[in-house]
Structure 1
Amino acid sequence: MTGLPFPDLSPEIFTIGGFSLRWYALAYILGLVAGWRIVVALMRRPALWPADRAPMEPARVEDLLTAIILGVILGGRLGYVLFYQPAYFLDHPLDIVKVWHGGMAFHGGFLGVVVAALWFCRRHGIPPLSLADALALATPPGLFLGRIANFINAELWGRPTSLPWGVRFPGEAAQTCPGIPFGQCARHPSQLYEAGLEGLVLMALLLLALRAGWLKAPGRIAGLFVAGYGAARFAVEFVRQADAQFVTPDNPAGNAIQFLGTGLSMGQLLSLPMIALGLWLILRARPAPEGRTA
């Protein structure tokens, strides 16, 4: 038998009466709290920013947090509906609001946060690119925790592998692998790959950019985050199991588009614009003139 056994982990931390606290919910909560505190800390260090002036008062970050939470939930859910299962939800529109059944898309959540942040900036007169930089620095901890929660939930696992660190995830879907006896299928722990790349590696790069003074050039750190996330997600998609709705007998890899005997997954298609946008932001960013913010 190849691979490592899945650890004895429950998706639920505890249950009291009819209430259960799940690891995934805790990851969301801790990620948002961590992001909030990071943004507050950045706003308390005006010397990091253009003209030595933070883009907003620390006390206003709590109002921003409310807008971001709405953006994450609404954008993440609508992104999943539109990008991954539009036909199903067209036939079952009432299921769109059933977020407790699962189904959130990072790319949709990202767009939701962008919309919420732009609205917040316009309402309060805050430089949007500088706020984007702050949010970029605040996001990787949440990504790391979310991917760890995906692993604990035994979901979003990777393709079958014979590598020694492959994991035998539980469940019929995870153990149904062509040419491999049921119960012996080891898969890439792609959730952990993403936790490392999108969380730890990307956070390290952003901190190096922060120390190099990149906050003085509005949009540059945001560009690094967007391009870095897109590149990490694009790479991991090569070993991540495609969503079931894309897998057919003629398309066993589950590519959203196919060409020249290969193809790209939906995650890769959505990541390419992020990489392009991030590189554009990095290249166009310039230090703001003295006395001005951006």
Structure 2
Amino acid sequence: MTYLHQIDPIALSLGPLKIHWYGVMYLLAFATAWWLGRQRIRAGRLPGVDMNGLSDLAFYGMLGVVLGGRIGYILFYSFGAFLDNPLMIFKVWEGGMSFHGGLLGVMLAALWWTRKQKMHFFDTMDFVAPLVPAGLGFGRIGNFIGSELWGKYTEAGWGVIFPSTDPNVLALQLNPTQLQAAYASGALDRFARHPSQLYQALLEGLAMFCVLWWFSSKPRPRYAVSGMFALLYGCFRFLVEFVRVPDAQMGDHGYLAFGWLTMGQVLSVPLVVLGLYWLWRSRRSPTLQPVIPAADRTGKENA
């Protein structure tokens, strides 16, 4: 069974102002992370930090995601184009964000915030890790709505057809009526692709959130939650890359080596290694015990 993708990427138009679904997904990601962070602060998962401290951490984290994601995309995927046109780094409306760059940005932001708080860096990272997957899921849904970062052809009579961005479908030059007729007749089935964005939303978003939220629901040794995050993301991303269309500007048809290795896989391998190392190191690390903030503790006592 195939699905003809015809979702408008613009969520709302107000005259010349157009609000894209991808931007809405970013807002949902930040709002969800903030709400989840409040729950963890109230549960005492980051002793000594109140809501004001969380607000500062969230602000630095948002800057890290946006700046790191954009700079990472330029460095990892479009450095040559950047050298030819340095101003492209500011053209965020043309797309181009890297998870791995965003992760580095968040880590640098967390490091800055942690040093100001005089805390251990990995206590902060273990606190932040469960807040991230929901945002990853929203981001991948935004990719799907925007008909970008799709997968390879399924070649099996099922999948999603992306008529607004697939160059092979665009080459047919079909008007809306002809497009619907071709889809109804099955003539477009050969252009059905893996909805790799949805695969990632389910794995990096829903599955990772469920595992990490459960895993972090009770005190864990330092490094453990961060290690679980890195291991899961690295494995999930590496696997999905096999059915995702690689970035065309990278190497031979988007592959760096062996006719299948992508930049996404190369960048994910260190995460798997780090995840395993952090989980191993957590075995002999101290466990941060929850300390419920005084305001919440007083409220419970009065209730």
TM-score normalized with structure 2 length:
0.84
3-state SS of 2:235 partner: helix
Cα distance in structure 1, aligned partners of 2:166 and 2:54: 43
Q: 1:45 maps to what in 2?
A: 43
Percent of residue pairs identical:
40
Establish whether residue 86 from structure 1 lines up as the match of residue 79 from structure 2.
yes
Q: Deviations over 1:3-53 (max 9, x none)?
A: 51323310011100111111110111110111011112111112xx4xxx6
> Residue 209 of structure 1 is aligned with which of 186, 209, 215?
215
Q: 1:232 maps to what in 2?
A: 236
Establish whether residue 198 from structure 1 lines up as the match of residue 191 from structure 2.
no
Shift of 1:57: 1.8
CA gap 1:292/1:39 in 2 versus in 1, 3 angstroms: closer
Q: 1:255 maps to what in 2?
A: 255
Q: Deviations over 1:200-229 (max 9, x none)?
A: 111111122124x3x331221111011111
Shift of 1:55: 5.0
8 A Cα contact 2:147 2:165, kept in partner: no
Q: Unaligned stretches of 5+ in structure 1?
A: none
8 A Cα contact 1:137 1:206, kept in partner: yes
- Higher gyration radius (CA): 2
The alignment covers a number of residue pairs equal to: 274
Shift of 1:143: 0.6
> Residue 224 of structure 2 is aligned with which of 220, 223, 231?
220
Q: 1:72 maps to what in 2?
A: 65
Cα distance in structure 2, aligned partners of 1:133 and 1:290: 10
Cα distance in structure 2, aligned partners of 1:65 and 1:172: 35
CA gap 1:174/1:282 in 2 versus in 1, 3 angstroms: farther
> Residue 112 of structure 2 is aligned with which of 107, 119, 124?
119
8 A Cα contact 1:174 1:185, kept in partner: no
Cα distance in structure 1, aligned partners of 2:189 and 2:155: 14
8 A Cα contact 1:45 1:54, kept in partner: no
3-state SS of 2:216 partner: helix
Amino acid at match of 2:261: L
Shift of 1:70: 0.9
Cα distance in structure 2, aligned partners of 1:239 and 1:62: 39
Cα distance in structure 1, aligned partners of 2:188 and 2:201: 28
Q: Deviations over 1:240-268 (max 9, x none)?
A: 00112126xxx34x212x24xx4410000
3-state SS of 1:242 partner: coil
TM-score normalized with structure 1 length:
0.86
> Residue 11 of structure 1 is aligned with which of 6, 9, 12?
9
8 A Cα contact 1:194 1:236, kept in partner: yes
Q: Deviations over 1:139-194 (max 9, x none)?
A: 011011110110010100001112354111113645369xxx87841111000000
